[in-house]
Structure 1
């Protein structure tokens, strides 16, 4: 503190000591501890090896200088509840515990200065409801615990200067707290990190701190390998459905609230299945099972008290080797589009007509389509098809059918496409097995290249919006899969985490589900069991 602060403390000490009264006072015998000098209302202790205790309970002012106390413990001042001023200076203690000043409900001035304190507990100041002046100046504090000042509504002056504060995420709460209080706060300068050394804390912008992190941690494994995974809500309960070709089934999972795990709920027989696509219409549940051989099927559950049963064989002459299936809504009616990868088959749009789904349009014949993606551009439905034989082609819904609009330049050998929206823009994630996978952005007439990401053995580049995070996972058959996050200020995907062997092997699809306040990521793997990860938010400012 400066000279003005020192004068303030001296005046307070004189006032509380009754200076100028002209009457000398001696305390009752035994009430002034060794190493202390006492007057009627005040005491000053210097060089005491421990915290003095035998003070008068009516003491108003106490100064402790160069004591040998290693720490200020809880309830240290319960015997002197009338204190109005408490000063520590040049002491050796290094920590102040929770509730160190409990019982001092009348304390107005607390000066803890020029000590060796490196730590103060978050509840150390609890109960000081009359405190107006607080000084922690010139100590060894690199950070302060969040909520340290909670309940101190009467504060008018706070001095934190002279501490080697590390201006990282741990000071973010302090920067956010200062503008919210009616108190003058002296913070001093940063001691680190190097980029901020000597910068005044009061000049830091809280918006520049990136103090929220996320982490995906393993949660559960689900038996067989899978090619696709989808989430859906039925009867207000979240479910997942996996396409498991080697087990020959679509496996529906639900959440077991007692075991806190995902458990199988129902199995649909579907040999060589590549995609299980759910559709919920009120109490009715449909599942399209796209199969490489034996014909694709539609399963149906008319009401919640029944089980799913085969309902319809879908376009047996057109769907010869499906590779992907997507759900879309056209003119307020549900439709499926099934991408066919055979030379003789045809990607087909199937729409609801009466009780079943029937071909509405054949698209892209002879091009061996590997993936379909439904999206909305300029307020209209669009469909993007990726093929083994040409660049991805974009169709738009016009006059009751899909018409070719454009293709995507600079995008050869694209295996699959997925889109996401952020900041009013539409982005594409284009998966390439060999070469660089790509991120593109719609400019109003064309998708333009925004970013390239090295990918080796990738079959999936899946964007996912989990909580507030726009993520994208670039899978790999040969290396670790990369979890990336969109950084809004840069407009680019940045590396966040790696997921890989031995758990995650040859991923083919990702999906997430939120339930009971928890968020889970499913990873369908072709060469291993499906892995479930839990999404955690980490507050680095805590």
Structure 2
């Protein structure tokens, strides 16, 4: 079409060339028009009969209730579009479609409370944008995507809620070559009247996590241990009532966990895996019948029992842990009988044999291997005294200290964060505790009410240091370490009817998905999936 606006159409079949001229635009009612511009005031709806060559349009106090997609397709030559004191409250996606030449868009002093994220799509020539003095509490992320020509943006006079929804805006402003007027926060109360451009994006906590139920695994269990064998993650469960160690793997077809192999182990309390190259070992600590070592020398074979472990020392095992000492793998088995002895078993040739007896006569309930000051340490909890810390020296463990203010501790677990070592101490009734190593002993940091707790398990999942405090009588508490405070803060509750009497937790990453296993004593093992939620979306 030329400057005169003539369109040549070739009529098929007739072979006749006909000149067609679009109808001349009219000035709509309640509008005043000149050759290139129009001002409309008080129109009940959006005027449409303008000349297609119109360059400037101002709409004041119209009765338009919303700007719909393609509202201005009939006037594609617009360079300036102004709305003021109108009653519409919503701007839909592609409301300004076709206005590729628009440079100035002013939407001021209206009642807009919502603007769609693609409302400004296609405005590739826009240099000046004003959304000032409306009712916008937030703006959708990516609202300004593709508006690379912007030089001035005015957002002042809106009641912005300065929560996670404005985080993207704070992160966007420093990245553009445009002056941005943002105005002040209307809320929350702590930020009321604070200028948006004074807010620090780093102070916003806009990432949440959630654990949602994924799968149930039949029998009850006392322990759950993850391991990787031949490049594939696995889980082994100690199922005392079923009398077995159950190994689970991922079924890529069904996208679920499935049983892969089971090891007969009556009254088993802990199944501890160890992978050494192509070989897989599983220590099955049993209350009755003696603890056993199972072995798979190479892939393709099934696990088979190879050794009965320290039958005269391990009379009533309660926990088993794997640790490495001077480059060699060892197991420590905590024994809870008066006549038995917590025993360190280290590899010697094809099997594992007693290297040292520890803590005899104290009815140990739990062992935890950890490293302090660059040296191996071992922490034992018992039914008869406070937890005792041993350190490795001269080829054996020697008592170093005990933990003050820690009576009736059933189990201990540790984690590291920010260069510090922390302990989670489980107490059945009373307050479970979080302690921090100060270089000479563990000091109390935090207390958390316990209601029938047998497990207080720290877990590092993705970027989050979590800890789960189990309960036999109430909901189990999922807590997250807040680095700014250095304390565990409540995050989520897990409980009946799915989670009943938890005894152990573990996590595993499979197919880019993260899962939490919860071994339950009075119900089946539950599997939860870990989700990250972006609150700024």
TM-score bracket for this pair, using the shorter chain length: over 0.9
Hey, what does 2:5 align to over in structure 1? 5
Return the offset for 1:415: 0.6
- Listed as ranges, the matches of 1:294-313 within 5 Å are 294-313=289-308
Return the offset for 1:33: 2.5
* 1:115-136 deviation line (CA, Å, top 9, x unaligned): 1111000011111111110000
Return the offset for 1:54: 2.3
* 1:458-485 deviation line (CA, Å, top 9, x unaligned): 1111000111111111111111111111
Equivalent-residue separation in structure 1 for 2:524 and 2:154 (angstroms):
58
Return the offset for 1:373: 0.2
Return the offset for 1:339: 0.6
SS of equivalent residue, structure 2 residue 17 = coil
> Is 1:175 matched up with 2:170?
yes
SS of equivalent residue, structure 2 residue 531 = strand
Return the offset for 1:57: 2.2
Return the offset for 1:22: 39
Instruction: From the superposition, tell whether residues 302 and 18 of structure 1 become closer, same or farther in structure 2 (CA, over 3 Å).
Output: closer
Instruction: From the superposition, tell whether residues 319 and 120 of structure 1 become closer, same or farther in structure 2 (CA, over 3 Å).
Output: same
Return the offset for 1:493: 0.8
Equivalent-residue separation in structure 2 for 1:220 and 1:20 (angstroms):
71
Return the offset for 1:274: 0.1
Return the offset for 1:4: 37
Return the offset for 1:191: 1.4
CA contact (8 A) 1:18 1:41 kept: no
CA contact (8 A) 2:162 2:186 kept: yes
Instruction: From the superposition, tell whether residues 540 and 2 of structure 1 become closer, same or farther in structure 2 (CA, over 3 Å).
Output: farther
User: 1:520 pairs with 492, 515, 533, which one?
Assistant: 515
Hey, what does 1:403 align to over in structure 2? 398
Equivalent-residue separation in structure 2 for 1:473 and 1:4 (angstroms):
76
SS of equivalent residue, structure 1 residue 15 = strand
Equivalent-residue separation in structure 2 for 1:444 and 1:325 (angstroms):
27
Q: Which runs of 5+ in 1 are unaligned?
A: 9-13
Of stretches 322-331 and 302-311 in structure 1, the one that deviates more from structure 2 is 302-311
User: 2:23 pairs with 25, 28, 51, which one?
Assistant: 28
CA contact (8 A) 1:27 1:38 kept: no
Return the offset for 1:309: 1.1
CA contact (8 A) 1:17 1:39 kept: no
- Listed as ranges, the matches of 1:321-400 within 5 Å are 321-400=316-395
Return the offset for 1:137: 0.5
CA contact (8 A) 1:274 1:322 kept: yes
CA contact (8 A) 2:6 2:21 kept: no
SS of equivalent residue, structure 1 residue 436 = strand
> Is 1:474 matched up with 2:479?
no
SS of equivalent residue, structure 2 residue 228 = strand
Equivalent-residue separation in structure 1 for 2:13 and 2:395 (angstroms):
94
Return the offset for 1:31: 3.2
* 1:323-366 deviation line (CA, Å, top 9, x unaligned): 00001111111111111111111111111111111111111111
CA contact (8 A) 2:25 2:52 kept: no
* 1:229-288 deviation line (CA, Å, top 9, x unaligned): 011111111111100000000011111122121111111100000000011112211111
Instruction: From the superposition, tell whether residues 27 and 504 of structure 1 become closer, same or farther in structure 2 (CA, over 3 Å).
Output: closer
Q: TM-score, normalised by structure 2?
A: 0.94
Equivalent-residue separation in structure 2 for 1:274 and 1:314 (angstroms):
15
Instruction: From the superposition, tell whether residues 23 and 321 of structure 1 become closer, same or farther in structure 2 (CA, over 3 Å).
Output: closer
Runs of 4+ in 1 over 6 A off after TM superposition: 1-8, 14-28
* 1:401-452 deviation line (CA, Å, top 9, x unaligned): 1111111111111110000000000000011112211111000111111111
User: 2:219 pairs with 217, 224, 229, which one?
Assistant: 224
Instruction: From the superposition, tell whether residues 481 and 66 of structure 1 become closer, same or farther in structure 2 (CA, over 3 Å).
Output: same
CA contact (8 A) 1:479 1:500 kept: yes
* 1:496-518 deviation line (CA, Å, top 9, x unaligned): 11111111111100001111221
Equivalent-residue separation in structure 2 for 1:2 and 1:138 (angstroms):
41
Q: TM-score, normalised by structure 1?
A: 0.93
Of stretches 29-38 and 413-422 in structure 1, the one that deviates more from structure 2 is 29-38
CA contact (8 A) 1:111 1:134 kept: yes
SS of equivalent residue, structure 1 residue 4 = coil
Equivalent-residue separation in structure 2 for 1:133 and 1:17 (angstroms):
46
Equivalent-residue separation in structure 2 for 1:280 and 1:30 (angstroms):
82
User: 2:412 pairs with 380, 392, 417, which one?
Assistant: 417
Hey, what does 1:439 align to over in structure 2? 434
* 1:41-86 deviation line (CA, Å, top 9, x unaligned): 2122222222222222222111111222111111112222221111
SS of equivalent residue, structure 2 residue 254 = coil
* 1:151-174 deviation line (CA, Å, top 9, x unaligned): 111111100111111111111111
CA contact (8 A) 2:453 2:472 kept: yes
SS of equivalent residue, structure 1 residue 23 = strand
CA contact (8 A) 1:16 1:42 kept: no
Instruction: From the superposition, tell whether residues 20 and 463 of structure 1 become closer, same or farther in structure 2 (CA, over 3 Å).
Output: farther
Instruction: From the superposition, tell whether residues 25 and 350 of structure 1 become closer, same or farther in structure 2 (CA, over 3 Å).
Output: closer
Equivalent-residue separation in structure 1 for 2:55 and 2:189 (angstroms):
44
Equivalent-residue separation in structure 2 for 1:397 and 1:446 (angstroms):
16
Instruction: From the superposition, tell whether residues 45 and 328 of structure 1 become closer, same or farther in structure 2 (CA, over 3 Å).
Output: same
Instruction: From the superposition, tell whether residues 4 and 53 of structure 1 become closer, same or farther in structure 2 (CA, over 3 Å).
Output: closer
* 1:386-412 deviation line (CA, Å, top 9, x unaligned): 111111111111111111111111111
Instruction: From the superposition, tell whether residues 348 and 268 of structure 1 become closer, same or farther in structure 2 (CA, over 3 Å).
Output: same
* 1:306-330 deviation line (CA, Å, top 9, x unaligned): 1111111111111111000001111
